[in-house]
């Protein structure tokens, strides 16, 4: 078994635990931005410490940094902030499993972005996968209790948040792989962790400035919730280390494709931990969208 496979599964499992904790934080007095900030604040120092210890133990120097590295950090960091905020906000409107499914539309949206922006071709099977995914999205977007014309039911804030989160995570994943590759071809673990350390530091500063300017009091609440937020930071660090390492070993499409196992973890958490029950339409939408994503990965 290639190393990127178990690393990706570990990343998906850790990320699922992190989103569970973020959903819990959002149910307290933390705002969407505050719950997102907690994730980066508590993981950034841990990642930086790991990089320093690893470099000292292995006797490594900093790898050569290409100028484009900074651009990848900014694009990927901002994309992940936006995507995380959308998912956290979505959890207050739909159940945990549906929220994670919307987030995982990043695989389909990555293919569409590549086709539209870069002109990357899509095979007939690729087009079929996207069409199937569109059907699944319609089923998921039609939230329980909605009434009226179909178009009005599926174009709702929850669907918008879900699609924006998927697009944002798709952009950030591609940027993160670009950032790792911009550090040359040295030690994989060092390049992945160094990129993650710079990204999380950047994200912590950006969100701290935002909270100080727009949401005073949130930073104090994040610090007060250190028990849950600190655990979330550890889960975030573990998941991010695994994602970045996997991106360094394999292309984003294959990593994110295997990462859809997160949907299974999310469904189990939604049913057994949050005691949430999905409607038949939501279950059908999740299954159809998962089939679409797996088909797209197989034909890439």
Span 105-160, pLDDT tens digits: 777 777 676 666 556 566 777 778 777 877 777 777 666 655 555 556 556 777 78
Reported as a single tens digit per residue, the pLDDT across 208-232 is 999 999 998 899 998 988 888 888 8
Compute the distance between CA of residue 208 and CA of residue 38 in angstroms, rounded to an integer: 10
Burial class (CB in 10 A: 0-12, 13-18, 19+), 185: exposed
Distance between CA 253 and CA 271 in Å, rounded? 29
* pLDDT category of residue 2 using cuts at 50, 70 and 90: confident
Mean pLDDT of 256-274: 80
CB 274 within 8 A of CB 92: no
Provide the whole-model pTM.
Answer: 0.79
């Amino acid at each position: 078994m290639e190393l990127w496979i178990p690393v990706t599964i570990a990343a998906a499992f850790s990320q699922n635990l992190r989103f569970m904790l973020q959903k819990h934080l959002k149910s307290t007095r933390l705002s969407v931005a505050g719950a997102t900030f907690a994730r980066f604040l508590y993981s950034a120092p841990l990642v930086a410490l790991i990089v320093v210890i690893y470099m000292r133990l292995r006797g490594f120097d900093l790898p050569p940094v290409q100028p484009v590295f900074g651009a990848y950090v900014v694009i990927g960091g901002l994309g992940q902030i936006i995507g995380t905020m959308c998912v956290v906000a979505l959890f207050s409107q739909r159940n945990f499993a549906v929220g994670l499914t919307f987030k995982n539309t990043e695989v389909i949206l990555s293919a569409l972005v590549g086709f539209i922006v870069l002109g990357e071709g899509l095979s007939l099977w690729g087009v079929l996968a996207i069409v199937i995914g569109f059907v699944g999205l319609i089923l998921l977007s039609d939230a329980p209790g909605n009434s009226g014309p179909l178009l009005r039911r599926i174009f709702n804030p929850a669907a918008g948040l879900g699609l924006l989160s998927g697009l944002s995570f798709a952009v950030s994943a591609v940027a993160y792989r670009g950032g790792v590759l911009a550090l040359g071809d040295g030690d994989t673990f060092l390049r992945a962790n160094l990129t993650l350390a710079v990204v999380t530091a950047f994200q912590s500063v950006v969100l701290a400035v935002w909270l100080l300017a727009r949401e005073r009091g949130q930073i104090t609440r994040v610090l007060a919730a250190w028990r849950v937020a600190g655990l979330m930071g550890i889960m975030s660090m573990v998941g991010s280390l695994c994602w970045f390492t996997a991106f360094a070993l394999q292309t984003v499409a294959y990593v994110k494709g295997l990462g859809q196992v997160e949907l299974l973890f999310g469904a189990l958490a939604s049913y057994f931990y949050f005691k949430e029950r999905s409607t038949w339409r939501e279950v059908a939408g999740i299954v159809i969208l998962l089939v679409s994503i797996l088909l797209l990965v197989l034909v890439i």
